[in-house]
Structure 1
Amino acid sequence: MKRIMLKSKLHQACVTMADLNYEGSIAIDTDLLEAADIIPYEKVAVWDITNGSRFETYAIPEKAGSKSICVNGAAARLVAPGDRIIIGSWIEIDYAESKSFKPTLVFCDEHNNIKNHDPETTRLASIKSA
């Protein structure tokens, strides 16, 4: 039996641009793609935290260090610059492998800087600040 699992996630990333006239995709800073283990043309899900919209597209690389995340094509109508989003990708793995599988989680600040790769540290930090 196979399971479809979350492979990687960019959490709280910030949309920097929306380009209705570009062919569909989401352009993501190469540094963020590499940190999240997402490759060019990989299918991704995008969940807009700001307005609740959800869509699927594919990732394309943007210049490393640009901190840019640009939603292109028709999906540009679903976001606005400044929206906080989650970008997720999936993997199909054997059931036995799924028992120990851990996704790559990358947490971003409002400028698309990487805050943390360790979800346990992030969880503990938010508990302590509450």
Structure 2
Amino acid sequence: MRCLLRGKIHRAVITDANPEYVGSITIDQDLLEKSDIWEGEKVLIADVDNGARFETYTVVGKRGSGVICVNGAAAKLVKQGDRIIIMAFEYSDKPIAPRIVLVNDKNQCVELRRSIVSD
């Protein structure tokens, strides 16, 4: 078995950081569905601007809102406006074609890829 990338939201913009919330990352429902990331699923977050990396779980945000809000203690690792990469993985003994969601500055999907490398 190998741990393979299954879903990714690439260079999303953090719309809020709330250290008072219990924990997690709130993500627009449209982006979760397009990337095949489930509510409550463990994700790895990489902040493109400051290099911070952390794991948390997902909470569904309002559909079409573009919300990307880091909550709880992890909110201290990021700031509003940072670009992040959100990744979900799966254990498999066969190759997986990951769903890669590329977003614009408003966290709207501009492209959906089914592989890591662009055709």
| TM-score, length basis structure 2 | 0.94
Q: Relative to total residues, which structure has the larger strand share, 1 or 2? A: 2
Identity %: 45
**Cα distance in 2 for residues equivalent to 1:105 and 1:118:** 5
The answer on whether the counterparts of 2:28 and 2:64 sit within 8 Å (CA) in structure 1 is yes
Q: Which amino acid aligns with 2:98?
A: P
Q: Secondary structure at the match of 2:74?
A: helix
Instruction: Determine which structure has more spread, i.e. the larger CA radius of gyration.
Output: 1
The answer on whether the counterparts of 2:98 and 2:114 sit within 8 Å (CA) in structure 1 is no
Q: Secondary structure at the match of 2:81?
A: coil
Alpha-carbon shift at residue 30 of structure 1 (Å): 0.3
Unaligned runs of 5+ in 1: 125-130
1:112 aligns with 2:107: yes
- Compute the RMSD of aligned alpha carbons: 1.5
Q: Residue 73 of structure 2 aligns with which residue?
A: 74
Instruction: Provide the aligned length of Structure 1 versus Structure 2.
Output: 118
- The within-5 A match list for 1:14-25 is 14-25=13-24
| TM-score, length basis structure 1 | 0.86
Q: Relative to total residues, which structure has the larger helix share, 1 or 2? A: 1
Q: Residue 50 of structure 2 aligns with which residue?
A: 51
> Which residue among 93, 102, 111 is the counterpart of 2:97?
102
Q: Residue 128 of structure 1 aligns with which residue?
A: none
**Cα distance in 1 for residues equivalent to 2:105 and 2:70:** 16
Alpha-carbon shift at residue 115 of structure 1 (Å): 1.1
Q: Secondary structure at the match of 1:4?
A: strand
The answer on whether the counterparts of 2:97 and 2:114 sit within 8 Å (CA) in structure 1 is no
Moved over 3 A (4+): none
1:8 aligns with 2:7: yes
Alpha-carbon shift at residue 33 of structure 1 (Å): 0.4
**Cα distance in 2 for residues equivalent to 1:15 and 1:115:** 17
